[in-house]
Chains A and B, each alone.
Chain A
Amino acid sequence: MEIIAKPKGGNVDKMAEKVFLECLNILGGLKKLVEFRNLTWLPSLAEASYVIVLRNEVFKTYAEIAKELGITEQTAKNIVNADETKVKRYIEGELEKPNEHVAGGIAKLAYNNLKKEERLDEDEVIIKSEEIEVLDIDWAVHVLAKIKGLDFPVNKEKLEERLKGMIIKGKNVENILNELEYPIKTPAELLHKIREKL
Chain B
Amino acid sequence: MTGYYELKELETKAPKLFGIPTGTKLDEMFYRIEKEEDKYVKKPLGGIPHLSIINLTGIPDSGKSVLAEQFAINQVNSGYKVLFVTVENPAHFLYTALKQKSEALNANFERVENNIVVIDASENDELRENPKALMDTMAYAIKERKTTNTIIDSITGLYEHKEVMARQIVRQFFNFLKKFRQTGIFVSQKRSAQASETAEAAGGLAVAHIVDGTIVLDKKLIESRWDVSLYGLPIGSILRTIRIDGCRFCGHDSQTWVFEITEYGTINIIAPLSEYIKAKRG
Nearest chain B residue, comparing its CB with the CB of A6 = B124
A8, B137: Cβ atoms under 8 Å?
A: yes
A3 contact from B91, B130, B134, B168, Cβ within 8 A: B91
Question: Which of A4, A7, A12, A58 has most chain B Cβ within 10 Å?
Answer: A4
Are A3's CB and B129's CB within 8 A? no
Q: Provide the residues of chain B in CB contact with A4, threshold 8 Å.
A: 117-120, 137, 140-141
A172 interfacial contact with B, CB 8 Å: no
With a CB–CB cut-off of 8 A, which chain A residues contact B123?
5
Given contacts A9-B140, A61-B164, A64-B162, contact A3 B127 (CB under 8 A): no
**What 3 A-B pairs are tightest by C-beta distance, nearest first?**
A9-B136, A10-B133, A10-B132
Residues of B within 8 A of A64 (CB): 162
B165 contacts A61, C-beta separation under 8 Å: yes
Q: Check B168–A59 contact: CB distance below 8 A.
A: yes
Q: Is A57's CB within 8 Å of the partner chain B? A: yes
Tell yes or no: B126 within 8 A of A by CB: yes
A2 to B83, CA, bound (A): 10
Tell yes or no: B281 within 8 A of A by CB.
Answer: no
Q: Is the interface of B mostly helix, strand, loop or mixed?
A: helix
| Chain A residue at minimal CB-CB distance from B119 | A4
Contacting residues, chain B, for A6 (C-beta < 8 A): 124, 126-127, 137
B contact residues around A58 at 8 Å (CB): 129-133
Which of B112, B132, B141: most chain A Cβ within 10 A?
B132
Distance, CA A60 to CA B133, complexed state (A): 13
Q: How far is the CA of A70 from the CA of B102 in the complex (A)?
A: 50
Partner of B113, one of A1, A5, A57, A151: A1
Kindly state whether residue B95 has any CB partner on chain A within 8 Å. yes
Q: Are A7 and B118 in contact (CB-based, < 8 A)?
A: no
Number of A-B residue pairs at CB separation under 8 A: 85
Q: Give the Cβ gap from B165 to chain A, nearest Cβ, in Å.
A: 5
User: Do residues B137 and A7 form an inter-chain contact, with CB atoms below 8 A?
Assistant: yes
Question: Given the complex, which residues of A lie within 8 Å of B131, measured CB to CB?
Answer: 10, 57-59
Decide if A1 touches B137 in the complex (CB within 8 Å). Answer: no
Asked if B139 contacts A7 (CB within 8 A), the reply is no
**Does B43 count as interface, using CB distance less than 8 angstroms?**
no
A15 to B135 alpha-carbon distance, docked (Å)? 14
Chain B proximity of A190: nearest CB distance (Å)? 17
Q: Is A175 an interface residue (CB 8 A)?
A: no
Answer whether residue B145 sits at the interface, using C-beta atoms and an 8 A cutoff.
yes
Q: A1-B116, A9-B133, A9-B140 are in contact. List 11 more A-B contacts (CB 8 A).
A: A2-B145, A3-B118, A4-B119, A4-B141, A5-B120, A6-B137, A9-B136, A10-B130, A10-B132, A59-B165, A121-B136
Is the CB of A40 closer than 8 A to any CB of chain B? no
A11 at interface by CB-CB < 8 Å: yes
Residue of A nearest to B168 (CB): A59
Q: Which of A2, A7, A60, A61 has a CB less than 8 Å from the CB of B136?
A: A7
Would you mind naming 27 contact pairs between A and B with Cβ atoms under 8 Å apart? A1-B98, A1-B113, A1-B116, A1-B118, A2-B116, A2-B145, A3-B91, A3-B119, A4-B118, A4-B120, A4-B137, A4-B140, A5-B91, A6-B124, A7-B130, A7-B134, A8-B137, A9-B132, A9-B136, A10-B131, A10-B135, A10-B137, A12-B132, A57-B131, A59-B168, A60-B165, A61-B164
